[in-house]
Structure 1
Amino acid sequence: MAQQQQIFERQTKIAELVRTAGFISVDSLAQHFGVTPQTIRRDVNKLCDEGMLRRIHGGVAPPADRPNIDYRKRKLINLKAKEEIAATVAERIPDHASLAISIGTTPELCAKALSGHSHLRIFTNNFNAAFVCCENATFEVTVPGGRLRNKDKDLLGSSAVDLFKAYKVDVGVFGVGGVDSDGTLLDFYEGEVGARQAILANCRRAYLVLDQSKFGRTAHVRGGHITEVDAVFCDAPPPESIRHILEDAGVELVICDNGGKKKRPALG
């Protein structure tokens, strides 16, 4: 069991390193982890077979742009960074608050990071987040009705939009498929944009949560702009053009590297 966990953690780190660097040779990865090239090749073969990376002569690179990969596999990408984001967001949420939480792996981790809070009211179309929140007996969790997307375990469409329109919540927490160079928010499906926009329109404060891989990532459905939110939570500084856009619009940029150790403030 311990060995399997070690392999899992190494493969997760490989995926993160490659997505950050763009290309890494097998020999470099072997040297970095202190294992044989044969071990790295086995790891790389598994990651490539799952669509998380792609082989290039002499090494490995991120997958070519295509429809979003499987939810379970996305959870492994930049996992530590997403957990830092989630911990920082959780420190901004007081007890007894109401929240709308969107689909996506980072919003799910935000829900998990809220487990130590009390008496939160959660509205979400992300059933992964809903199940996590139900573990806290003081939380009230409301979800829409309809057909789940099997792999993602979430729900899109009119019932999700209607849920978010029916309530005015303190905080909306949502992710995004990608951010274009001009700050346009992008997703892979129209239903994802519709639900996210409904959250944005019906929350008192809007928190956009995303790791640095989302900047410049290709997704074809436009929906909103990064300046429409109150705060952007990211694991590293975004591109300079995005920083200027946020500064000019007065949007708070939170670089999440403190482990979420700050005291929770009241909502302002």
Structure 2
Amino acid sequence: MELSERQIKILAWLKQAGGQLSSQELTDAFHVSVQTIRKDLNELSDRGLVQRVHGGIRLPFHNRNLSFQTRQVINLDAKRRIGQTVAALLPEGATIFLGIGTTPQQVAAALIDHPGLQVITNNLNAAMALCHNPKIETLLTGGRIRPSDQDLMGEDATRFLRRFQVNYGIFGIGGLGPEGELMDFSPEESHLSRAIIENSDLRILVADSSKYLRKAPVRTATLSDTDLFVTDQITPELASLAEAAGIELRV
């Protein structure tokens, strides 16, 4: 289920307001009833995107990611567009990494008609999607399966990625900090993303705009460690971060 336009605006305003808003502010700003705002806030809270507090909401303190099922449906159209944009960049015969998460999964889904690639991944859903294209050779890492995230993790997975030097490394993040910090939810996730960053000729970050200012506890890298950031919406803040990092920003 996609977020409504009003819910997207609520999240954007919440971040701009320093992480906390009252229900009355929201009711006045959107000219809707208290019941309507309460329904929006309850839905956002159920998805783990906000935390309900007395009289309003605040940004949650995340030390773990949202459920995989929730991430699969949040901003799905945006993730599909990101996937299609990245798929169009990949020339026939290229070698690529595909990292964990639902946005790299949408990159894989967009490769259904690609003329030919070699893909190395620990993303089980990406590997299953790529099975539908016989022109793509897919190499799947070993490692420990995370049922909650439908991927392979651990030292075996990281070591496997480090055996390659690929043309394009495509990866997502748990959160993007105000200074361009790329954040993940566990050291294992961070190690895998670092392996992609360090063993790719061109590094492509894929993340929808909801990741901006989203908290995650492990610092993996910075925007300057990437070459291209593909997202669904360019805000002035993101444009400034990309310029400071010296990377290309693409919608």
Question: Do the aligned residues in 2 keep the contact of 1:178 with 1:187 (CA within 8 Å)?
Answer: yes
What do you get for the CA RMSD once the two structures are aligned?
A: 3.0
Aligned-pair CA distance for 1:14: 6.6
Quick check: 79-88 or 104-113, which moved more?
Answer: 79-88
Summarize deviations over 1:125-151 as a string: whole Å, max 9, x none.
111111111111221111112221111
Aligned-pair CA distance for 1:244: 3.6
Q: Which residue of structure 2 lines up, in the alignment, with residue 76 of structure 1? A: 73
Amino acid at match of 1:163: F
Question: Do the aligned residues in 2 keep the contact of 1:231 with 1:253 (CA within 8 Å)?
Answer: yes
Q: Which residue of structure 1 lines up, in the alignment, with residue 222 of structure 2? A: 225
Q: Which residue of structure 1 lines up, in the alignment, with residue 97 of structure 2? A: 100
Question: Do the aligned residues in 1 keep the contact of 2:205 with 2:228 (CA within 8 Å)?
Answer: yes
Summarize deviations over 1:62-86 as a string: whole Å, max 9, x none.
7622221101101222222222211
Summarize deviations over 1:217-261 as a string: whole Å, max 9, x none.
111111111111111112122453x5344324431111x2xxxxx
Supply the distance in 2 between the matched residues of 1:172 and 1:179 (Cα, whole angstroms). 18
Q: Which residue of structure 2 lines up, in the alignment, with residue 65 of structure 1? A: 61
Amino acid at match of 1:85: I
1:252 aligns with 2:248: yes
Aligned-pair CA distance for 1:16: 4.0
**3-state SS, counterpart of residue 117 of structure 1:** coil
Aligned-pair CA distance for 1:106: 0.9
Aligned-pair CA distance for 1:46: 6.0
1:20 aligns with 2:12: yes
Q: Which residue of structure 2 lines up, in the alignment, with residue 86 of structure 1? A: 83
Matched length? 240
1:118 aligns with 2:115: yes
Question: Do the aligned residues in 2 keep the contact of 1:187 with 1:193 (CA within 8 Å)?
Answer: yes
Correspondence 1:193-212 to 2 at 5 A: 193-212=190-209
Aligned-pair CA distance for 1:51: 3.5
Question: Do the aligned residues in 2 keep the contact of 1:185 with 1:224 (CA within 8 Å)?
Answer: yes
Give the TM-score normalised by the residue count of structure 2.
0.82
Higher relative contact order (CA 8 A, sep 6+): 1
**3-state SS, counterpart of residue 167 of structure 1:** coil
Summarize deviations over 1:32-82 as a string: whole Å, max 9, x none.
xxxxx68x94x86566445355556788x5762222110110122222222
Aligned-pair CA distance for 1:196: 0.5
Amino acid at match of 1:75: Q
Supply the distance in 2 between the matched residues of 1:128 and 1:29 (Cα, whole angstroms). 42
Structure in which a larger fraction of residues adopt strand: 2
Supply the distance in 2 between the matched residues of 1:142 and 1:186 (Cα, whole angstroms). 26
Distance 1:50 1:252, change over 3 A: closer
Supply the distance in 2 between the matched residues of 1:222 and 1:167 (Cα, whole angstroms). 24
Task: Return 5+ residue gaps in structure 2 as ranges.
Answer: 15-20
Amino acid at match of 2:249: L
Q: Percent identity, aligned pairs only?
A: 35
Question: Do the aligned residues in 2 keep the contact of 1:19 with 1:62 (CA within 8 Å)?
Answer: no
**3-state SS, counterpart of residue 80 of structure 1:** helix
Supply the distance in 1 between the matched residues of 2:74 and 2:92 (Cα, whole angstroms). 30
Amino acid at match of 1:122: V
Give the TM-score normalised by the residue count of structure 1.
0.77
Question: Do the aligned residues in 1 keep the contact of 2:122 with 2:152 (CA within 8 Å)?
Answer: yes
